[in-house]
């Protein structure tokens, strides 16, 4: 009986080992099959992703160049406007000095005119006092 149990146990052990080995080979084969099916899809996804990334980079570079061109145009425009502002400030300073000169001349004329009127008024008063009529 021990021989029967021993032989049966040995065959059972052998059967378990063979089953375990065949299960291991089957799972490895299934894994390789899944990898074989998924690998082209993974590569396709990587290729699509890299192409999309390259397209995005190209678009960003184009936008960057367009913005650089706009910045250069705006810098040139700013330089032109700064020159115009400097010229206008210079013109304003000249006009302001001319205006001050004209005001000074006007006040001098008014002073002379007032002095002449005061002199004439004094003369008229003196003439009236003495009975002299002016022309």
pLDDT at 52 (0 to 100): 97
> 3-class secondary structure for 1-30?
CHHHHHHHHHHHHHHHHHHHHHHHHHHHHH
Which range of 30-39, 111-120, 122-131 scores highest in mean pLDDT? It is 30-39
pTM of the model: 0.46
Torsion angles phi and psi, residue 56, rounded to 5? -60, -40
Handedness of CA 6, 7, 8, 13 (dihedral sign): positive
Torsion angles phi and psi, residue 17, rounded to 5? -65, -45
């Amino acid at each position: 009986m021990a021989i029967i149990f021993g032989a049966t146990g040995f065959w059972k052990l052998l059967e378990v080992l063979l089953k375990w080995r065949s299960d291991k080979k089957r799972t490895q084969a299934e894994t390789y099959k899944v990898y074989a099916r998924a690998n082209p899809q993974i590569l396709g996804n990587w290729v699509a992703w890299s192409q999309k990334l390259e397209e995005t980079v190209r678009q960003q570079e184009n936008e960057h160049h367009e913005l650089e061109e706009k910045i250069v145009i705006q810098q040139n425009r700013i330089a032109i406007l700064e020159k115009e502002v400097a010229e206008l400030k210079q013109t304003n300073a000249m006009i302001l000095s001319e205006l001050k000169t004209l005001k000074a001349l006007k006040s001098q004329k008014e002073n002379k005119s007032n002095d002449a009127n005061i002199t004439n008024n004094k003369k008229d008063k003196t003439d009236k006092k003495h009975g002299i009529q002016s022309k």
